[in-house]
Amino acid sequence: MRPKNILIAIAAGIALAAGGAVAYRISAPAVMPTTATVLPVPMPLPEFSLLDQYGTAFGPERFRGQWSLVFFGFTHCPDICPLTLQVLATAKRRLIDRRHTPLPYIIFVSVDPERDTPEVIGQYVEHFGTDTLGVTGDAIELRRLTDGLGIYFARTPTDGDGYSVDHSTVVLLINPDGDFRAVFGSPHDADNFVRDLPLIQSRR
Amino acid sequence: MTRNVVVIAVSLLVACVDESGPPLVVSDVVIKRPIPGATVSAGYLELKNTSGQPITITGIASPQFESVEIHETIIADGIVGMRPVAQLSIAPGLSVRLEPGGKHLMLKQADSEAETVTLQLYSGSEMIISLDAKFASPSY
């Protein structure tokens, strides 16, 4: 075979291989999140002004630059709230063990700002470790955030002058642009976050 | 016919054995300390009615808490709420589990110095059983 023909044969071979690879990529099923629902278009957060556990202003700009998993609850909730925060902490520890980056920040927003002062929520989230951040603040500002994200909460009276707070069980994922990117529905399991979070991050 | 007689005989034997034991057997008791910052925590346990009569728990007292209530975590349409359970009925021979994400004890204002917790379960004014448990870690 003449050198020119060899070159043509090599070029044809490369083209075939490349074409095959492209065809495989098109036809191969994409690995999709199995439990999280990813928004078709990331949604900007509403304007709001709350406080973190240190008493520092906490607005939408605080979500920029990192991935955040956000859960809404309250410290007078002895069962499902600590269970969910424990699941999130376990998921983050498993991601750390796998040397996954970027790691998500875990943010716990109180839907009971009257009883959950920055000091109270600060002590509370410290129990879970993994840099969990507590957020609370003005009730009207809280409502601006929750209404903008479709998060429900409402007081329900208990015995005497006490009350409990019904609230959404979802965990929201906010991307480093500060946009609402995906939602994890309950029941929550650490494995769901460990599996789906990296997939969503890679699709960014 | 012979088989039915055997079944009845065994049932009677079990009933006799049960008569000698306590009517309510409590197991898997986990009484959580409050998480720092929180004033409430949860308790979990299993109640087995070994008697031939239904047992109804109408109240729980404990010297280590301001109050102990039975609550239920209810999740519907993505919203979670907690509701008081006025009384807990346990049918003869059956068990009721109080467990994470379901029915649980709502423990308010714990004595932070206490190492052991005493729970007294009442049916009306009658105390059915008193039990002691060690305070458990708040972690799940």
Residues A197 and A103 in one domain: yes
- More reliable by pLDDT, A68 or A28: A68
Residues A102 and A199 in one domain: yes
Residues A50 and A140 in one domain: yes
Asked if pLDDT for residue A201 goes beyond 70, the answer is yes
Q: What is the mean pLDDT of residues A89-108?
A: 98
Amino acid at A175: N
Give this prediction's pTM: 0.84
pLDDT at residue B18, as a whole number: 44
Residues A113 and A192 in one domain: yes
Asked if pLDDT for residue B120 goes beyond 70, the answer is yes
- Which chain B residues are Cβ-neighbours of A75 within 8 angstroms? 35, 37-40
Among A8-22, A184-198, B126-140, which stretch is predicted with the lowest mean pLDDT? A8-22
- pLDDT tens-digit profile of A74-86? 999 999 999 999 9
Asked if pLDDT for residue A133 goes beyond 60, the answer is yes
Distance CA A144, CA A177 (A): 19
Residues A19 and A92 in one domain: no
- Which chain A residues are Cβ-neighbours of B34 within 8 angstroms? 78
Give chain A as a DSSP string: --HHHHHHHHHHHHHHHHHHHHHHHHHSPPP--SSEEEEEEEEEPPP--EEETTS-EE-GGGGTTS-EEEEEE-TT--SHHHHHHHHHHHHHHHHHHTT-SSPPEEEEEES-TTT--HHHHHHHHHTT-TT-EEEE--HHHHHHHHHHHT--EEEEE-STT-EEEEEE--EEEE-TTSEEEEEEPSSP-HHHHHHHHHHHHHT-
Residues A25 and A54 in one domain: no
Residue A61 phi, psi dihedral angles, 5° rounding: -65, -20
Which range of residues forms the domain containing residue A3? 1-30
A75, A80, A158: residue with CB nearest B80: A80
Give the distance from residue B67's alpha carbon to the nearest chain A alpha carbon, in angstroms. Answer: 11
- Which chain B residues are Cβ-neighbours of A76 within 8 angstroms? 38-40
Asked if pLDDT for residue A17 goes beyond 90, the answer is no
Residues A61 and A4 in one domain: no
Asked if pLDDT for residue A30 goes beyond 90, the answer is no
Residues A90 and A7 in one domain: no
Asked if pLDDT for residue A93 goes beyond 60, the answer is yes
Which CATH number goes with the domain that contains A111? Answer: 3.40.30.10
Residues A26 and A40 in one domain: no
Q: What is the mean pLDDT of residues A128-149?
A: 96
8 Å CB contact of A86 and B140 = yes
| Domain total in chain A | 2
Q: What is the mean pLDDT of residues A143-154?
A: 98
Residues A21 and A46 in one domain: no
Average pLDDT of chain A to the nearest whole number: 90
Residues A118 and A196 in one domain: yes
CA distances from A182 to A31, A173, A200, B65 (A): 16, 5, 8, 41
pLDDT at residue B16, as a whole number: 42
Name the A residues in 24-83 with CB < 8 Å from any B CB. Answer: 75-80, 82-83
Candidates B82, B108, B137, B139, partner chain A, best to mutate (most A CBs within 10 A): B82
A83, A126, A166: residue with CB nearest B81: A166
Helix (H) or strand (E) holding B24: strand B24-32
Q: What is the mean pLDDT of residues B58-80?
A: 97
ipTM for the whole predicted complex goes beyond 0.85: no
Quick one: pLDDT band at residue A1, thresholds 50, 70, 90?
low
Asked if pLDDT for residue A101 goes beyond 90, the answer is yes
8 Å CB contact of A124 and B38 = yes
Residues A18 and A42 in one domain: no
Asked if pLDDT for residue A14 goes beyond 90, the answer is no
